[in-house]
Structure 1
Amino acid sequence: MSKTKIPALPGDVTWTEDQWKAIWAKDQDILVAAAAGSGKTAVLVNRIIQKVISEEDPIDVDELLVVTFTNASAAEMRHRVSEALEKAINDNPHSQHLRKQLSLINRASISTLHSFCLEVIRKYYYLTDIDPGFRIADSTEIQLLRDEVMEELFEEQYGQSDNEEFFNLVDAFTSDRNDDALQNIVRSLHDFSQSNPNPDRWLDGAASMYELADDDGIDDLSFIDSLKFDIGLQLDTARDLLERSLAVIKTPGGRLQGLRTI
């Protein structure tokens, strides 16, 4: 943050040095990473307010784009900015600029990332091939569409007589009554892949991890060490819980009477 001259941290504020830098740094790209509950929202609100009330280069609040991941976070952000503006007006009641900001707050682009993108598409639909009357499917509709596509996919695979690999997969992961378990695995893999920048590449890479030569064994899998480590952790946890349970039932009133330890 050397491009910006950061004001000295006053002694009467509760901000940390890093928070203070995040509030005041400008004229550069800034990435702030912090844990939950560390005050990121408060820092961002104060960063917005400082830009709005700046005496050197004040801006209007509706010139800013503020996006969050949830509607609740967006509503909280808008509420906090409004409260901060009201406090600034109380400190400077004659400022027409601040009063203007309070009237502009409802027009400010403070929303989820999805809502902002939806607004852009609706506004400039004529530049795309999207029908201006489109709407966003709700969760129930999306689930029904997913189920329909899944059923069609499996029916297509079942209809191929020489599809031995698929039939082996079905035998390994389904019961003799239905293939719901395998369908759930497919859904989980798809959902997880969507968190990657290139889902198709991730899925191809995940499949390649299971490719072994004819003379290779399970210990030659690339992920086997991590898997064994995870299994070890779970077994250690189970043993710890059993030992603690045994210690409890050995105490007076612990109902060990009539039980025989192994």
Structure 2
Amino acid sequence: MSEKINYTPQQQAAIQTGGKNILVAASAGSGKTKVLVERVLNLLQQQVGIDRLLVVTFTKAAAAEMKERIEQALQAELAQLNSKDVQRKQWLLQQRLKLKTADISTIDAFCLHLVQQYYYVIHLDPVFRQLTDETERQLLAEDVWAQVREKRYGQQRPAFEQLTQNFSNDRSDDGLSAVVMKVFEYANAQPQPIAWVKKLPAAYAWPQTGGFQQSSFYQKQLAPLLQAKLTTIERQLGVLEQQATENGLKNLRPQLQPISNK
């Protein structure tokens, strides 16, 4: 059903592995679309209907290309069949018709279709739309934060007051707003945003034994950062010392001696 291509062992495994779901991950231009198309065609040869498959990609272009290649492959095989292959011809014609509505699309398009079809299961208003405009999304986030912020100010919670003082100045609380929005963006990139936010305080917990240097925050986040900064400074001082020596600036050498790692 398709042209002969010399696939790698990994690509062959992705094409021929049956009875299970697969994830094809590779760099741009490595042949992901061809492999997925070949896998679909291989399943069609095994009498697996196109309507029983779910193929999702990250771009509309890749999804459209896949459908086009499958259509061409089906058309090519139909053209090669003789009049006696009635059953096979009917099967291929059915697949061509089903291809137009097959679940070969981007991930977000498939999820949108799923929500539109089963909105009543998750108690969602059927009259909804995707929030695709970045400006509108940002305005909505800022509006919600403004409401939450005013509510917290009215409650006079000491913890919130301390948080505001840590990130704001005597003129505005823009610093706090910036931190909240940044945490919001990071949280939304996580599979479980709320659970991720709830785990954040654990990284800053004071150790039961030892001082600040024994804390998880210092060991895993602050110490590596400080070490990287000190290494960079040491390297730069070494370069400056060499340049001072080469240019006859001996009096500057004592001030440019590289610091040692302790």
Give the TM-score band, short-chain normalised.
Answer: 0.7 to 0.9
Distance 1:212 1:226, change over 3 A: closer
Alignment pair present for 1:219 and 2:216: no
Q: Give the counterpart of 1:78 among 52, 64, 77.
A: 64
Alignment pair present for 1:158 and 2:149: no
Letter of the structure 2 residue corresponding to residue 41 of structure 1: T
Instruction: Name the structure 1 match of 2:43.
Output: 51
Distance 1:35 1:145, change over 3 A: same
Q: Cα RMSD over matched residues?
A: 3.6
Letter of the structure 2 residue corresponding to residue 172 of structure 1: N
Letter of the structure 2 residue corresponding to residue 147 of structure 1: E
Q: Could you report, residue by residue, the CA deviation over 1:84-143 in whole angstroms, capped at 9, with x for unpaired residues?
A: 541553465245454654454332222223322322333344556333322223333322
Instruction: Name the structure 1 match of 2:201.
Output: 207
CA distance in 1, matches of 2:217, 2:224: 10
SS in structure 2 opposite 1:134?
Answer: coil
Alignment pair present for 1:65 and 2:59: no
Shift of 1:65: 1.7
Instruction: Name the structure 2 match of 1:194.
Output: 188
Q: Which runs of 5+ in 1 are unaligned?
A: 1-11, 253-259
Q: Is the 8 A contact 2:60 2:105 kept in 1?
A: yes
Instruction: Name the structure 1 match of 2:260.
Output: none
CA distance in 2, matches of 1:84, 1:238: 57
Percent identical pairs in the alignment equals 28
CA distance in 1, matches of 2:214, 2:239: 37
Q: Is the 8 A contact 1:62 1:109 kept in 2?
A: yes
Q: Which runs of 5+ in 2 are unaligned?
A: 82-88, 257-262
SS in structure 2 opposite 1:14?
Answer: coil
Instruction: Name the structure 1 match of 2:171.
Output: 177
Q: Is the 8 A contact 2:207 2:215 kept in 1?
A: no
Q: Give the counterpart of 2:99 among 95, 105, 114.
A: 105
Q: With structure 2 as the length reference, what TM-score do the two structures score?
A: 0.72
Shift of 1:250: 10
Shift of 1:195: 3.7
- How many aligned residue pairs are there? 238
Instruction: Name the structure 1 match of 2:27.
Output: 36
Q: Is the 8 A contact 1:193 1:203 kept in 2?
A: yes
Q: Is the 8 A contact 2:56 2:63 kept in 1?
A: no
CA distance in 1, matches of 2:54, 2:132: 26
CA distance in 1, matches of 2:114, 2:52: 15
Distance 1:18 1:244, change over 3 A: farther
More off after superposition, 98-107 vs 148-157: 98-107
Distance 1:80 1:35, change over 3 A: closer
Q: Is the 8 A contact 2:15 2:39 kept in 1?
A: yes
Alignment pair present for 1:229 and 2:220: no
Q: Is the 8 A contact 2:37 2:69 kept in 1?
A: no
